[in-house]
Structure 1
């Protein structure tokens, strides 16, 4: 073992004095995804420090990113550490593990390996974030977070400058057995997917599945730390009655670590005597800050030119500067005063961005075949969707005397191109296509063809194929980028083509003699939701809309791991230059004051819920300013990227009320 000389007491005292008088660090909430679930964190950046070193903070069992609040000062221990270290020029990222705090997922599904995944992803996020020095990142973990930190240190591809373990769990099965009792651990190991509930010594109750208990036995922080060769600080308390006996329990990490190290022992409990005041907490924070500083190499003098142009997520290295330059110049602002004038100007700009002219080609529609479906008739038709394309479509017409309300049902993306309109309306005459469509609606729509459900409710329904789907199928997922590029080269746009065709479909639907032109809705899920609010913004042929699981802010979507950064599917919804003028909710708000309903999923991995709520709040303000607050509705459902039967029923009931119908 190699000893690690630390800074003198004078330096420790000075760091506390600096922290006490410094301004609070600039903090912002950040998000990234792990296994399709959102991890939420707080990034604290020191003022006036370019490319600072950074530290990742990992909370303990049942904790959250601010950690335990110190009663004397009403401040979480990790939040306090972040503030103090920021005053010393150290940035920090503190996260909520999935199932904890604001992050997605359920606590009952938490496992030790799952938390390690979160920590590894957090280090990758921090290294790619751009505001910190990716070559000077340290790690701090407390209690179970200390165990996670030790494992993470052994596995991460990022080179850590130091690791600090505060009262780390070094024998997790024993620690959990102490908290829960051996009998409950045995019960948990055998519980399968059914959670067991335990009461913790401090009164809280938690429920966990067998995956958690099993993970304690297959992942060993003591074995994993052997792969980490950098500086290691282990801080333990002789009064700790959760991880004990100390300092022996802490020493075991050092015994299996080969590198600079220090064991720091004080007469403190598992929470660093936080209930007695801040003295011991502050001494620990100062000690750790000094350790981090001593282990952190000086910043490498940056070249005055780019030595790397593109991040690991295929963003330009200057992407944050570009984001900072986006002010959404045509977003609604009450200071503009004249809402109808703003709406007309904004709609005209959105049309310009389509790189695709409006089209007045006669539809020249004809019926190819029909199928009687009891309360309604299904028709396969062909029509000139634009002057460039003549396409097949599915039209459902209720029996009886009209005119009827109508619904333009817009299919999703899903990476499934053999069907398009058939995701919305039950196909016939092709067994392979029917089987494909049924499997799809079973997966995402609770087995329902929502177009047929709407027809049974008395709606005329139209479904078409976007370019690349169904009868207009492309050459697979990897072909989307080439198709978009070729359309750009031809003076057009893939997203613009889809948008104009949707407008034309809405106009055709509204023109039918069976349709009440004042009651025409656009409805869609996923990419279909994007198309629904977009067509509602572009044309008044649509008088209401239902958009399910496609709405958030640009800032919330342009984060590592999101589909927006991957190309391919994004081209179907990409209007070049749009974000100089509008954010997504700004563009959707052009539809105001029409009735519009937006749904989202709490655990939808594609649309981080914090960004979704921000977008919903923005649109709600626009509808209020337009004098129609009762015509805007939004709801976050407790599910992922899916449009379930319960949501469908509630959405269609809402639409019926907007159209003055009693279902």
Structure 2
């Protein structure tokens, strides 16, 4: 496999991880695990009135969410998105769309429908994951005019290997379109067309990544193993990961956040989907795996146009994440101040009449099982208290952090009913 000019070869299945777990041995607890600090923070949040405390309305909670995330105003749609390329392939009609978000590069998207279908259909936003794989966004979930896509920096083999690992090898948005939905999948801020170019990242992060890679090579040689080859694309992913805390700092100075800008891009995409011809305004949903599931929680919480939401391998209490898993998550999920508004399952239940499917992966490396079960209990109780216990469905699967083909089929069947 080669990625771009001058790339070195690497087995397609060896997707270079962005982060590596580091075991820290200490007699003292890390601050996030200090019982006294946790108790102090709990009292502070309770005094501030979290979701479910009886303080504030839905509108007030949304206002607090918008403030904590630094949600910036978004442009009104003055004209339809630019249509670039249209195609029909494997039972799907597709069109490439492009629109401005008001800053940075335009967002690119694909709108998919069943081939030949001209009537109004339920609409769904398919939200791509984080995955430590930022050179592509929409391509993770959908096939393009030539099938499995490739880009100047990502070969088909690398993308297919990623799908094999996390999506059962499937293009999940294309599969959903074939079943009778209008599916919009777009690049969110930080991915694909909306990604920060490597040349915009500070030199010190370039040096840091190169030192990291040199250390890996030296360790391999010391252990008598062949030095691992790293493609320019894989180096680029390490660079983006190293830069994410710096990006979060800069966005904080501007009064916004990584999660806030991703949510803003998702709201703009929702505006585009709602305005598209042949989409039922009364039947719009969203779903996503991992970071895409986090996006689905916030999008559904903030906008009543979402009538159903699917969250895959992205549900736990925040306390469960602190128990040894915080280092594995992005600033796009663990946004500063978010827990002051509500625990993660409480935010997912902010609209307790909304049809919600949460699929838990019991062997998920990114979450503890106890945190998942606690979240399931909170969601069950919130929906019971809201008078619509049947609107929440939580299913547990003997899977690691991935979305199996069987789980995908479950969500498609559930969406068909929820958006009927």
Q: TM-score range by the shorter chain?
A: 0.7 to 0.9
Preserved CA contact (<8 Å) 1:522 1:533: no
Alignment of structure 1 residues 378-527 onto 2, 5 Å:
378-386=94-102, 390-398=106-114, 399-428=116-145, 431=150, 432-474=154-196, 475-527=239-291
Residues 495-537 of structure 1: per-residue CA shift (max 9 Å, x gap): 1000111122112212212101111111100010111111011
1:460 Cα deviation from its structure 2 partner: 0.7
**Structure-2 residue corresponding to 1:605:** 365
Preserved CA contact (<8 Å) 2:105 2:194: no
| Alpha-carbon distance between aligned partners in 2 of 1:531 and 1:602, rounded to the nearest angstrom | 21
**Structure-1 residue corresponding to 2:77:** 362
Residues 163-201 of structure 1: per-residue CA shift (max 9 Å, x gap): xxxxxxxxxxxxxxxxxxxxxxxxxxxxxxxxxxxxxxx
Residues 325-345 of structure 1: per-residue CA shift (max 9 Å, x gap): 354523225x67xxxx73222
| Alpha-carbon distance between aligned partners in 1 of 2:415 and 2:256, rounded to the nearest angstrom | 34
| Alpha-carbon distance between aligned partners in 1 of 2:373 and 2:32, rounded to the nearest angstrom | 27
Higher strand share: 1
TM-score w.r.t. length of structure 1: 0.49
**Structure-2 residue corresponding to 1:581:** 341
| Alpha-carbon distance between aligned partners in 1 of 2:28 and 2:395, rounded to the nearest angstrom | 33
Q: Would you identify which runs of 4 or more consecutive aligned residues in structure 1 move more than 6 Å?
A: 313-318
Secondary structure of the corresponding residue to residue 415 of structure 1: coil
Alignment of structure 1 residues 500-579 onto 2, 5 Å:
500-560=264-324, 562=325, 564-565=326-327, 569-579=329-339
Preserved CA contact (<8 Å) 1:426 1:437: no
**Bigger relative contact order, structure 1 or 2 (CA pairs below 8 A, ≥6 apart):** 2
Secondary structure of the corresponding residue to residue 332 of structure 2: helix
Preserved CA contact (<8 Å) 1:363 1:383: no
| Structure 2 CA distance for partners of 1:550 and 1:380, relative to 1, 3 Å | same
Secondary structure of the corresponding residue to residue 330 of structure 2: helix
| Alpha-carbon distance between aligned partners in 2 of 1:316 and 1:490, rounded to the nearest angstrom | 31
| Alpha-carbon distance between aligned partners in 2 of 1:481 and 1:380, rounded to the nearest angstrom | 32
Preserved CA contact (<8 Å) 2:106 2:194: no
1:619 Cα deviation from its structure 2 partner: 1.4
**2:50 is aligned with 1:330:** yes
| Alpha-carbon distance between aligned partners in 2 of 1:332 and 1:579, rounded to the nearest angstrom | 13
1:580 Cα deviation from its structure 2 partner: 2.0
| Alpha-carbon distance between aligned partners in 1 of 2:128 and 2:380, rounded to the nearest angstrom | 26
1:373 Cα deviation from its structure 2 partner: 1.8
Preserved CA contact (<8 Å) 1:419 1:436: no
1:389 Cα deviation from its structure 2 partner: 5.5
**Structure-2 residue corresponding to 1:232:** none
1:540 Cα deviation from its structure 2 partner: 1.2
**2:418 is aligned with 1:658:** yes
| Alpha-carbon distance between aligned partners in 2 of 1:633 and 1:464, rounded to the nearest angstrom | 27
| Structure 2 CA distance for partners of 1:466 and 1:433, relative to 1, 3 Å | farther
TM-score w.r.t. length of structure 2: 0.76
Secondary structure of the corresponding residue to residue 597 of structure 1: strand
Secondary structure of the corresponding residue to residue 499 of structure 1: helix
Alignment of structure 1 residues 338-377 onto 2, 5 Å:
342-362=57-77, 364=79, 365-377=81-93
Structure 2 unaligned residues grouped into runs of 5+: 1-22, 197-238
Alignment of structure 1 residues 181-260 onto 2, 5 Å:
none
Structure 1 unaligned residues grouped into runs of 5+: 1-120, 130-310
